[in-house]
Structure 1
Amino acid sequence: MSNGVVRRGAIVAVIVLLLSGAFSYIRLPHAPVITAPTAAHAAQMDLRDHPRRGPGPAVSGPTTIPRVVLGAATNSKVVALTFDLDMDAEMATAARGGAVWINRDALTFLESRKLHATLFMTGMWAEVYPALAREIANNPNFEIGDQSYSHPAFHTPCYLLGGVSRAEQARQIQLAQKAIERSTGVLPKYFRFPGGCYDRPALDLVHAAGLIPVQWNVNSIDAFNSYPQQIVSTVLSEVKPGSIVVMHLNGGSNAPSTGLALRLLIPELEKRGYQFLTVSELLAAGTSIQPIDPREVSEFYQPPPPPALPVKSTPRWCGWVIGLHGRVWVCR
């Protein structure tokens, strides 16, 4: 090998070493790290693909749709009142026989005060009361949500609700959407699980239908509760900025005191500076609060009633009896 070739090779080697040293001091931008979403994070979808159907400010810009909504993180004194309108086959039969599954007192109060609220109705309720369902949907202060077709459990145990198969759960969602749209002209974008019970496959079904699951973080315990003051005290003790409160508008024995409770509750919340929003408005006001349970399971077990106390038999005869040790008082 000639000396010229050796010299050229040495020069090239020196240049390479110099360049490599220079590049070692150049800061290259880090590529973004993409992690898989956890159960507690939002499903990555764009709210612009889901137009708003209800009152409240429109959502602008890309916003992720939450996996499950429990409330909103905000410092503003705002709260979302939500009301369930349950109905199953047994209630529908009773309605055809004259039973009324609407608390007119509570509904009239909401309307008279022009309170913003979100009402989750079952498809069966919308079918049994189509005129009333449309009246509710036409109120600019109300927003309509879906609560399945006939209120089965989407995960058990769930109080005393009976469970159904995954295929039936998917069918319940679609039947309710169609029934509510037929009766109201509104296609809901929010879904509430009957009884508040769900698991991961149930969540996946709701998201596959293009709906947002909405739960709550304040339970008013107005269901089957005849004490309005207890309902009021429960809400006032738990409410905070961004809360979602669940109540019921069925009336009857299912929710007998909701109207009376509202007449006491709303003035107290207003004294504390709260304003009332629909779910859409609440989500526009703050970041959605997600469940922290990594299993993505919500269930409610209702213990069986305690065993009945033994009934003491009533004696048929009492009197003195002569025995081996004299007279003895006995009852037989």
Structure 2
Amino acid sequence: MRRMKRVRRDRRWGRLMKVRLSRRSLLLGMMVSLFIWVAGCSASQPFGLLAALQANDTSQDGGTGQSAVSPETTDPSVSPSPQPDDSPSAESSPDPSPNPTEGPDGPPLEGTPSPDSGQSPPPTKPPAPSVSPPSTDRPNASDGPKPTGSPTSPTNPTSPTSTTSPTKPPGPTRPPADGKPSMENKTVAITFDDGPDYRYTPAILDILKENGVKATFFVVGTQVKREPQVLERIVKEGHAIGNHTFDHKDLTKLSKAQILKQMKDTDALIKQTVGFTPTMFRAPYGAVSSAVKQVMAEQKRQLVGWTVDTRDWAGTSPADMIAHISKETKPGGIILMHSFGSKHIAGTVEALPEIIAALKQKGYSFVTADKLV
């Protein structure tokens, strides 16, 4: 029985202690919350309370900016003390200028008391959010009244003119030859060797005329002598011509004098037919030696090679020629074809319209070879 009574007493005492502790904890929590709330309110607007007190003191003192002092504590022999450093104007209006009567641009401000008057300057603006000292090379933007009409203001009010030169606009882009910006520099030259002849060359000229394409013909002297009228048509229709030796000899196997004779004999026939001597020269088989290069330099000739060889003279099918040209042609390329010299040139005539169409579809424009060397 005693043990049961002791247990009951302990339980009642434990419940009582829990209630007391709960009440004390609740009271303590309320006091802490109240303290935090009061501290937060006091810290949230410290400048607002000080500004309100200062405004009240200013209105009682007649707007001079002096702090009101009770008659019991005023000492006539002591000059009024300046505003404390923690006032809004002291924090937000530091003036690096040695003369406190000068504004941002130099002249005195209206209503500013002289430094000998013993009075502190009146506040001229609300407190600024930043209290960092102004830059020494220009006045702080917070020294003067803030504009209200526009959200933006000049970054340097003391400088009437800007020292930064305006950015020069980019110049106009040079338009490409075909008028399409994406096709700039996509040019190609089609060349025909070994002509002229009376069968394939006229057919090639018809196709070029129909498609509005200018080409280059490297002619052989013996063929010019046989078909002068075809050469005349080539020149008349605006195509370019070049010298391809007199009888298609391999120049690397000839002496310098023989190379020069091959060139001069063909020049004479061309000039006799069309009235001028061409400046372009193509060596048969593309075979070039140091002697050939020396003769070209001495005669001021353009030695023209190629970048795409169709091998049409060997019997390449039209389909293979079209595919090869479409794959291998690059901007500035020179395509080698023939207008005479083999029975397989019929395939060249057959493939030419589709070759032109394929290159145009890729954005190429056609020029003569002298424009690319």
What TM-score does the superposition give when structure 1 sets the normalisation length? 0.54
The answer as to 2:194 corresponding to 1:85 is yes
Corresponding position of 1:170: 260
The answer as to 2:359 corresponding to 1:269 is yes
Q: What do residues 262-304 of structure 1 show as CA deviations (whole Å, max 9, x unaligned)? A: 1111111111111000123x33xxxx5xxxxxxxxxxxxxxxx
Corresponding position of 2:275: 185
Secondary structure of the structure 2 residue equivalent to 1:131: helix
- Aligned-residue Cα RMSD (Å) equals 2.2
Structure 1 residue identity aligned to 2:299:
A
Matched ranges for 1:3-152 at <5 A? 76-86=185-195, 100=198, 102-140=200-238, 142-152=239-249
Aligned counterparts of 1:104 and 1:245: Cα–Cα separation in 2: 19
CA contact (8 A) 2:200 2:349 kept: no
The structural deviation recorded for 1:85 is 2.3
Aligned counterparts of 1:213 and 1:75: Cα–Cα separation in 2: 26
- State percent identity of aligned pairs: 26
The structure with the larger Rg is 2
Matched ranges for 1:179-258 at <5 A? 179-250=269-340, 252-253=342-343, 255-258=345-348
Q: What do residues 95-123 of structure 1 show as CA deviations (whole Å, max 9, x unaligned)? A: 8xxxx563432221012222111111012
Larger helix percent = 2
Q: How many pairs does the alignment contain?
A: 192
Unpaired runs of 5+ residues, structure 1, are 1-56, 58-73, 88-94, 156-162, 289-332
Secondary structure of the structure 2 residue equivalent to 1:250: coil
Q: What do residues 43-85 of structure 1 show as CA deviations (whole Å, max 9, x unaligned)? A: xxxxxxxxxxxxxx9xxxxxxxxxxxxxxxx961110111112
Secondary structure of the structure 2 residue equivalent to 1:177: helix
Secondary structure of the structure 1 residue equivalent to 2:322: helix
Structure 2 residue identity aligned to 1:146:
N
Aligned counterparts of 2:234 and 2:275: Cα–Cα separation in 1: 11
Aligned counterparts of 1:185 and 1:233: Cα–Cα separation in 2: 39
Aligned counterparts of 1:275 and 1:86: Cα–Cα separation in 2: 24
Aligned counterparts of 1:101 and 1:122: Cα–Cα separation in 2: 16
Aligned counterparts of 2:254 and 2:195: Cα–Cα separation in 1: 17
Secondary structure of the structure 2 residue equivalent to 1:256: helix
Aligned counterparts of 2:322 and 2:341: Cα–Cα separation in 1: 17
The structural deviation recorded for 1:144 is 0.9
Unpaired runs of 5+ residues, structure 2, are 1-176, 178-182
Aligned counterparts of 2:195 and 2:296: Cα–Cα separation in 1: 18
Secondary structure of the structure 1 residue equivalent to 2:363: coil
Aligned counterparts of 2:199 and 2:285: Cα–Cα separation in 1: 17
Aligned counterparts of 1:75 and 1:217: Cα–Cα separation in 2: 20
Secondary structure of the structure 2 residue equivalent to 1:81: strand
Instruction: Flag the structure with more relative contact order, 1 or 2, with Cα contacts below 8 A and sequence separation at least 6.
Output: 1
CA contact (8 A) 1:101 1:251 kept: no
CA contact (8 A) 1:123 1:150 kept: yes
Secondary structure of the structure 2 residue equivalent to 1:183: helix
Aligned counterparts of 1:191 and 1:269: Cα–Cα separation in 2: 25
Q: What do residues 9-42 of structure 1 show as CA deviations (whole Å, max 9, x unaligned)? A: xxxxxxxxxxxxxxxxxxxxxxxxxxxxxxxxxx
CA contact (8 A) 2:245 2:262 kept: yes
The structural deviation recorded for 1:138 is 1.2
